[in-house]
Amino acid sequence: MKKVRVFLYTFVFICLLTGCSKNQKREAISNVNDLEGRRVGVALAWGPDYLLTGRDDLELIRYNTIASMVMALCYDRLDAIAVEKPYALYIMESVGGCHIVEEPIKRANVNAYVTHSKPELLDEFNCFLREFKETDTYEDIMDRFLNASVYEPEIIPVGSGKKIKVGVGSDNYPFSYINFDTGAYEGCEIELVQHFANAYGYEPEFIDGTYEACELGVSSGKLDMSFYGCSELYREDVELSGMATVSDGYFPMDIVFIEIEDPEKVKIQTVIDY
């Protein structure tokens, strides 16, 4: 769940020339707990990688980017890919002839990282979450986050207050990204931080970085918090490393499979690079 970049390159003509739509259709996934002999792609060190590692009923193949994984699926190098549902919805906008397997593999929350030097900040954020999750505002964010392939952001005005430095990704759609028209940060995590800031009198300063840079920034105290769609599936590793404290979960996400539904309709309209 760590970096999202969208490159608007058209690859349809490549598919037509190379015949990538001639995949051999195999029996559809009917049971996510039984994937005997299937080749399953995951993004390296993302939640699905943690979840599926150790499964002996499948061949797990790791990719550095989502784009490479999607291309492998379309070129019949994989039988399925596993990815978090918000990304799956976005992938479906870019790839024809595929479908999302209805049964999720697992539901996992995402969490924030907080610097060790500010334990009160972690307490405040967790307290905020417990109350905020009961509001209609939270339900609205969740609806826009989980149920649409295109995230529709809300603009949340933030007042002045004590500054906190918050690490985010400027290309981690739909969690956090830059609106190129306005230059402002948008996304479901941006909205969450803004509501938290208003509730506790903070003024967030959003600082762009990679997942690793944000994690190191929190560890060194140069960042107060980091939001990067961080799955609770690797919470234990983060806490064992001692790099940060981890908040309660705030956005639950299903992890799902995408597989080829109709090989004759497979075409890549845009490439998504995560």
What is the pLDDT at residue 216?
Answer: 92
Write out pLDDT tens, residues 218-232: 999 999 999 987 899
On whether both 102 and 212 belong to a single domain, the answer is no
Give the residue-averaged pLDDT of 72-79. 93
On whether both 92 and 129 belong to a single domain, the answer is no
What is the pLDDT at residue 245?
Answer: 94
How do 80-84 and 38-43 pair as beta strands? parallel
What is the pLDDT at residue 172?
Answer: 86
On whether both 234 and 212 belong to a single domain, the answer is yes
What is the pLDDT at residue 23?
Answer: 47
What is the pLDDT at residue 145?
Answer: 87
What is the pLDDT at residue 188?
Answer: 95
What is the pLDDT at residue 195?
Answer: 97
Give the residue-averaged pLDDT of 255-271. 80
On whether both 148 and 98 belong to a single domain, the answer is no
Q: 211 versus 72: which is more confidently predicted?
A: 72
Range of 208's domain? Answer: 108-254
Confidence band (pLDDT; 50, 70, 90) for 270? low
CATH code of the domain containing 101: 3.40.190.10
* Total count of domains within the chain: 2
On whether both 238 and 181 belong to a single domain, the answer is yes
pTM: 0.81
Distance CA 3, CA 1 (A): 7
Which range (2-11, 100-109, 110-119, 200-209) has the least confidence?
A: 2-11
Give the residue-averaged pLDDT of 115-124. 96
Confidence band (pLDDT; 50, 70, 90) for 150? confident
- Indicate whether 234 pLDDT > 50: yes
On whether both 122 and 101 belong to a single domain, the answer is no
Is the link from the previous residue into 174 a cis peptide, with omega within 30 of 0? yes
What is the pLDDT at residue 95?
Answer: 85
On whether both 119 and 191 belong to a single domain, the answer is yes
Confidence band (pLDDT; 50, 70, 90) for 147? confident
Q: 21 versus 225: which is more confidently predicted?
A: 225
On whether both 150 and 49 belong to a single domain, the answer is no
Phi first, then psi, for residue 96 (nearest 5°) are: -90, 160
On whether both 125 and 155 belong to a single domain, the answer is yes
Confidence band (pLDDT; 50, 70, 90) for 269? low
Q: What average pLDDT does the chain have?
A: 87
On whether both 27 and 129 belong to a single domain, the answer is no
How do 225-231 and 58-63 pair as beta strands? unpaired
On whether both 102 and 31 belong to a single domain, the answer is yes
Which range (85-94, 157-166, 247-256) has the least confidence?
A: 85-94
Give the residue-averaged pLDDT of 55-75. 93
On whether both 102 and 231 belong to a single domain, the answer is no
CATH code of the domain containing 210: 3.40.190
